Amino acid sequence: MDKDIQDFISIHRSKNGSVKIGHDASNEVNIYKLLNRFGFRHDMLNGKRIYFRRINGAIQLVNIEEIRDSFYHFLERDEFENLPFDIPKEIILDWFLRENPIRQNDLFRHHLKGSLSDFETHQLSMETDLEYKSEYETNQLLAKLSEWGFETTIDIIGSFCKGNDLYYKQIGSNEFLVLNHYNKNKVLECGFDAWKIKFIDKDKIGVELPRIIEQIRLSFKVERDYSLIEQYLK
């Protein structure tokens, strides 16, 4: 299919010379095929229908209005061919606004059906699902702490966050790097704070208050704050 305007509209001429623009099911299918060529798709993500667009290998979330607008702009910018000389473009635009030919019906769903890859599912879940994003970032940081040789204990007395996990690594004589996992059981409120502290020995962490404590970063994020602790991991 090329971009022949008469693939997308039906032109009806009366005996008195007036012109009426409409569309039928065949025109509607061609519109959806064009939208498919524009990269628009839909799929289910975490039980919800989403719309997205692939452009040059990248994927982005869109909504139904953006899909409709893309076809309107196609008309508005004269990106089609074969419009009879006696039909002004404005009549075509009026038809679109009046008839709203793009509908979320079975034809639409059939011709724009997409399939998200595992990577795309992850990417879009990170954008749309706050619980997924929080759990993923937490697991990524815990994996890093394990890789960096951190040990773990429980904050029994509430020196940072009572009853939650403490992750620590000795970095000097009686000196430790500590990350406390606050609000561990509240997915949307949890996070990690990073500290440099001094204890007589590591067995006192979480059992006694530290002798000296220095804040490194509250709400620590690896991608943002790694440079603040890098020197202690060597």
* Structure confidence by residue, pLDDT tens digits, 203-222: 889 898 888 899 999 999 99
CA atoms of 167 and 153, how far apart (whole Å): 7
Coil, helix or strand at residue 9: coil
Q: Is 219 exposed, middle or buried (0-12, 13-18, 19+ CB in 10 A)?
A: exposed
Coil, helix or strand at residue 189: coil
Q: Provide CB contacts within 8 A for 88, sequence distance 6+.
A: none
Q: Is 2 exposed, middle or buried (0-12, 13-18, 19+ CB in 10 A)?
A: exposed
The DSSP 8-state label assigned to residue 164 in this structure reads S
List, for residues 100-144, the tens digit of each pLDDT value: 999 999 999 999 999 999 999 999 999 999 999 999 999 999 999
Pairing outcome for strands 165-172 and 19-22: unpaired
* pLDDT on residue 159: 85
Write out the two tokens for 224: 């943002």
Whole-number percent of the chain with pLDDT over 90: 78
Contact 82, 6 (CB under 8 A): yes
Instruction: Using the predicted structure, report yes or no on whether residue 148 has a pLDDT greater than 90.
Output: yes
Write out the two tokens for 209: 């208050």
CA atoms of 112 and 32, how far apart (whole Å): 7
* pLDDT on residue 17: 76
List, for residues 22-64, the tens digit of each pLDDT value: 999 999 999 999 999 999 999 999 899 999 999 998 999 999 9
Pairing outcome for strands 19-22 and 58-62: unpaired
List, for residues 71-91, the tens digit of each pLDDT value: 999 999 999 999 998 899 999
**Which residues are paired to 151 by β-bridges?**
168
Q: Provide CB contacts within 8 A for 90, sequence distance 6+.
A: none
